Copies of this chain bind each other. A is one copy, B any other.
C-alpha cells in the first residue's frame, strides 16, 4: 500500500501542503479574501459555510475552485447571526439561530437532526454547482466528540469525500481513535494537520514550513479583506486580515515554500485519488 502522497505522484520523502481557507461564505469580506487567496494567492483550498448569510454570494462567484463544505452547526458571533437550513429545533438557540458554542451543540443537538442538517448543507452546495472537494466542520463540532464523529465519518463515506482529521498525536488527547476507523471505511485524510487557531497564522506557518514531515499536511487560515463589516462581525478581524495579506500580498510564504521544496496541493487531488481506489 503506497502512501497518500505517493498515490498523488510525489516521491516518498516529499512534503506536500494544503493551504486551506476556512469560512468562505461567512461574510462579504471573507468571500473577497478567500477567493483572492485561491486565485491570486497561496490558498489551495477553501471551505464553504453554507448556512451563512453570504454563502449564496460565494456560490455565485464560484468558478471551479477547490471548495469543500465547512459543515456548520454554530453561529458564534454576538452581533451577526445565522440559522440552519433545516427546521431541527435541537439545532437552534432561543433566538432561532445556531448556538454560539460547540459545547451547546454537543449538549443539545439531536443526532438525527444533525445528519439532516449536514446533508442539507452538502446538497445545497452541490445544488449550487460546487464540485465539493472535501468535508470539514466549523469549530470542530463533528471532530471532537465520538458520537458526532460517527456522523462525520458516515457523511464522508456516503459522499465519497475526504475529511479533515487532526493528526495522530491528537487521538490520545481526544480520547478516541478516528484515523483508523476513517481509513477502514476508505475515507482519505491528510497525514498531518496543523492547528493554528488562536495564534497568528503567519508565524505558525513560517515556523512550520522548515519542519514539515514527508507526506500531506493541511494547514488552515481565515483570509478576509479589511472592512467595517468584518471589524464589527469578528473580534478577531485583525488575524483574518493578516491571513489575507500573508496569502495574497506578502512573499514570505512563497519564499519559504521554495527554499524548502514544499509542494502545494488541494483537496480535489485527494478526493480524486480516493474515488479512484
Contact = CB atoms under 8 A, between A and B. Distances in A.
Interface string A32-63: 10000000000000000001011111001000
A41 to B, nearest CB: 18
A229 B53 contact: no
B28 A53 contact: no
A213 to B, nearest CB: 40
Contacts of A86: 96
A32 B81 contact: no
**Oligomeric state, in copies:** 2
A228 B28 contact: yes
Chain A interface extent, by class: 20 to 34
A53 B232 CA distance: 12
A78 B60 CA distance: 9
Given A85-B95, A86-B96, A124-B95, A228 B32 contact: yes
Given A228-B227, A229-B229, A232-B28, A79 B60 contact: yes
A120 interface: yes
A82 B83 contact: yes
A32 B227 CA distance: 13
A187 interface: no
Nearest to A80: B53
Given A79-B60, A87-B89, A229 B96 contact: no
A144 interface: no
6 contacts: A51-B96, A54-B79, A56-B80, A57-B232, A83-B83, A229-B229
